[in-house]
Structure 1
Amino acid sequence: MDGSDKLKCARGGGIGGGGVGHSVDRLSALPDDLLHAVLSRLKARQVVRTCVLSTRWRDLWRSVPCLRIDQREFHTAAAGNGTLVERQSFNNFAHILLHRHDVALLEEFRLHEDPGPGYGYGYGYGRFHADSWVRHGISQDETWPCRLERLHLNNVSLDSYFARHISSRCPALEDMRLKNCCYLLTEVTKITSSSLKKLVIVGFHVVREDASFRLILEAPALASLRLAGHSSNNYSDVMSLTTVTSMPSLVDASICLTTVREFNYSNEDNGRIEMQLSLLNELFNVTSLHLSRFGVMFLVLGGDAGLFLPEFKNLKMLSLAECDISDDFLTLKHFLRNSPNLEKLTLRCLPLFFAEVQVSIGINTSILFKAVRYVDYVPAKKNVDYVLDFSSYDL
């Protein structure tokens, strides 16, 4: 039974419905709010197709509060993914949809583009239109307040006006997720939002190798933050491009750098360490913290004894994945000392790290487990649940 048959059954006609002449359209009798809730769970192309069901359905799609525009709906098995015809069809559909939909009623807007040619540089076919689609989805009519609460974008090129529109046109925005997006930016970008509670930025790119992207957040209500970089060209980690400030409500943070890097005392490395410490200072209030591929973060730089790890008074769960905690666990020791309420520590170790420890203390994993407990160093931490996680690596 295909989708059209299911809709016929729901309306009381077609298969098992006693024929079209005797059908009862029970589905169309439902109130608009309930039908909108159903349509909001469908992708945009499916939603628009419901306009042929009956006169009652003809214009329902125009006021649906959630739009999920997905280029994958236009893939065909015969033509393969990402053909010129498919892309043109998708572009035409998205353009017409957004200009005929009452975007002032949107509460959730999702846009998923295929990476396509030039992925990572913003030159994929159709990407020239995506930024205008996003602006239209945010709603440019200042006479109507924007209701948008959730904004999820995948593989989309964002122009220099994106942050400005988020700050000025989205007073209700709570959840923003940007995955593998490309930024046509060459200067500091500032996003100010008093409503934003969750922010996810994964695998972002800059257009040129020499371009700089510095993101400044002022989000007093932000409770959850996830930043994950993407290894590309000279761009080595998230922190070289990102500055985060003003997040007093943050309770859950995950920061994943792009590569494992060994630090020494060079000026370049000191600058990177200072940047990592600066970010950690902004995360002092979190209860859950995940760090991936961080370098040695407890170093006295330039004789300044104040550049240490902050105190995490509320931290209960700490996860360190592929982090350089130094040969003698010095960084780990200071993390424990600065986290008086820590309940669970998870170490996800590199094979190289594990091999080095094997040489120094023996091959028995239980010995390694005891080695990182630091009961002697931090007596108050005896009730902490220490977990060594090697599940993601082939040892």
Structure 2
Amino acid sequence: MSSSEYDTPFTRSTKRPRRTKSETQSQSVNDNEEDRLSVLPDCVLLHVLSFVNARHAVQTCILSRRWRNLWKLLPTLILHSSHFWTFKAFTKFVSALLTRRDASSAVLNLDFERLGCIEPHVLKRIVNYAISHKVRNLGISVKCDIAHIPPAIFSCKTLTSLKLSVSPRGNIYACTLFPNSLNLTALTSLHLQHFTFCASGGDSAEPFSACERLSDLVIDQCTVRDAKALCISNSTLVNLTVRSDHLKDFYKIVLSTSKLKSFRFSGIPYQQICGSDVLSIEDVDIDAEIWSNSLESPLILFSWLLELANVKSLTVSASTLQVLFLIPNLLKVKLPCLGKLKSLKVKMKPLSPIFAMALKSGRSKKEVTKLSMPLPDGIVNFLLQNSPSAEVAIVNCKR
């Protein structure tokens, strides 16, 4: 890596040009000026550096003698390949960073992202280094085989937050098989992207039951294989988020989560949601769209409303209401739910081009005009028919 790319102390020349007499005098004056930032304690400076990527944090060592070795104590490492022109420069920097860092200093937070494919030995070193240095918050986003991720990541006793996105090489739509169970006893927050859950026995997948402290779960672009249901069985889970932008096989999400209070969804509804603990959910946020004029997703979305009977706060996007409005004679239906609703928020935002095309497909000009309204006429009152006194807010949002 040339010094003209991303200059760091790992690559720049140690030779410095000789200063002129005037430059030396000017430097002497500057040295006598008060440096309010450098007099701050290490813990404060390290906290400030935790908000910048590792490359910039390392570069601070050239500021003064006070900063020379401070980066070696960083508890937060943000390592993104997008901060470098080439992957070779990135891997060289990562190797030098881990080699020269203070080995006795813990890595509490590590965020590693490689936009393309990752070499297995690089990923292995990153993960093992984080685990051996008592990492608490770990984020890994790479393209590789799941076998290249050290299995120790799924049994790390210090992890409280894990964000994991592992896509197979060469196929952006493929998903990686997820372990049947986790042994992360300290984990409170889990974000999974591009994974496939497999049945561990019977006809359902149940990967989260061993996470004894899990509070927040995000399932992002995941699906189920060789099973009819994804069973989310966890007695501590409070917040559940599901994101799905492309259709996979249809399956059920069975909730066995007695403390679950919040459910958020964005994407195409294709999963049935059921379980006795659905009734515990009080806060719901849905941003739904569809890519075809099939009634399957609108009917599934409607079934969610029927299941989420005890919701007190409901947030929906305008597109969600338009998906519902595709159901024939919807406004004539008498709702048996939403009787405890206290707040309804509608987020207005432009439709995606694909959804707009789906609304027009196979419909008359009159139907298209009716469906293209920013807010389908009568849909808000339809949701409020059992809670007429609920507060209503309509807000404009950017896409």
Give the counterpart letter for 1:131 in structure 2: L
Secondary structure, in 3 states, of the residue corresponding to 1:243? strand
Partner of 1:89: 89
Partner of 2:390: 383
- Report if aligned partners of 2:285, 2:315 keep a CA contact under 8 Å in 1: yes
**Cα distance between partner residues in 2 of 1:129 and 1:379:** 59
2:120 equivalent to 1:128: yes
Partner of 2:207: 216
The change in CA–CA distance for 1:335 and 1:282 in structure 2 (over 3 A counts) is farther
Secondary structure, in 3 states, of the residue corresponding to 1:378? coil
The change in CA–CA distance for 1:288 and 1:252 in structure 2 (over 3 A counts) is farther
- Report if aligned partners of 1:158, 1:182 keep a CA contact under 8 Å in 2: yes
Secondary structure, in 3 states, of the residue corresponding to 1:337? coil
Matches within 5 A, 1:251-266: 251-259=238-246
- Of 343, 349, 370, which residue of structure 1 is paired with 2:378? 370
Query: How far is the alpha carbon of 1:87 from its aligned partner?
Result: 1.7
Partner of 1:113: 114
Q: CA RMSD in A?
A: 4.8
Partner of 2:172: none
Query: How far is the alpha carbon of 1:220 from its aligned partner?
Result: 5.3
- Report if aligned partners of 2:177, 2:195 keep a CA contact under 8 Å in 1: no
Matches within 5 A, 1:10-25: 18-20=26-28, 23-24=31-32
Percent identity (aligned): 14
Partner of 2:182: 191
Q: Which runs of 5+ in 2 are unaligned?
A: 1-6, 9-21, 170-174, 197-204, 255-269, 291-296
**Cα distance between partner residues in 2 of 1:331 and 1:246:** 36
The change in CA–CA distance for 1:50 and 1:220 in structure 2 (over 3 A counts) is same
- Report if aligned partners of 1:289, 1:315 keep a CA contact under 8 Å in 2: no
The change in CA–CA distance for 1:317 and 1:276 in structure 2 (over 3 A counts) is same
Query: How far is the alpha carbon of 1:65 from its aligned partner?
Result: 0.9
Give the counterpart letter for 2:288 in structure 1: S
The change in CA–CA distance for 1:342 and 1:128 in structure 2 (over 3 A counts) is farther
Partner of 2:272: 277
Partner of 2:260: none
The change in CA–CA distance for 1:370 and 1:389 in structure 2 (over 3 A counts) is farther
Query: How far is the alpha carbon of 1:109 from its aligned partner?
Result: 0.7
2:80 equivalent to 1:70: yes
Deviation per residue, 1:176-224 (Å, 9 max, x gap): 334564599546443344544444344x268xxxxxxx78224454444
Query: How far is the alpha carbon of 1:23 from its aligned partner?
Result: 1.0
- Report if aligned partners of 1:225, 1:250 keep a CA contact under 8 Å in 2: yes
Query: How far is the alpha carbon of 1:94 from its aligned partner?
Result: 0.9
The change in CA–CA distance for 1:249 and 1:298 in structure 2 (over 3 A counts) is same
The change in CA–CA distance for 1:192 and 1:370 in structure 2 (over 3 A counts) is farther
Residue range with higher mean Cα deviation, 104-113 or 220-229: 220-229
- Of 245, 256, 261, which residue of structure 1 is paired with 2:232? 245
The change in CA–CA distance for 1:378 and 1:193 in structure 2 (over 3 A counts) is farther
Matches within 5 A, 1:296-315: 296-297=299-300, 309-315=306-312
**Cα distance between partner residues in 2 of 1:298 and 1:46:** 46
Secondary structure, in 3 states, of the residue corresponding to 1:380? coil
Deviation per residue, 1:94-136 (Å, 9 max, x gap): 1232243337512211112232xxxxxxxx2x43234314423
Give the counterpart letter for 1:240 in structure 2: V
2:285 equivalent to 1:289: yes
**Cα distance between partner residues in 1 of 2:168 and 2:234:** 25
Secondary structure, in 3 states, of the residue corresponding to 1:369? coil
- Report if aligned partners of 2:283, 2:314 keep a CA contact under 8 Å in 1: yes
Residue range with higher mean Cα deviation, 101-110 or 149-158: 149-158
- Report if aligned partners of 2:80, 2:114 keep a CA contact under 8 Å in 1: yes
- Report if aligned partners of 1:312, 1:338 keep a CA contact under 8 Å in 2: yes
Query: How far is the alpha carbon of 1:19 from its aligned partner?
Result: 1.9
Query: How far is the alpha carbon of 1:66 from its aligned partner?
Result: 0.7
Deviation per residue, 1:280-336 (Å, 9 max, x gap): 877653513325358232899xxxxxx995345244124365685452376996987
How many residues end up aligned between the 2 structures? 326
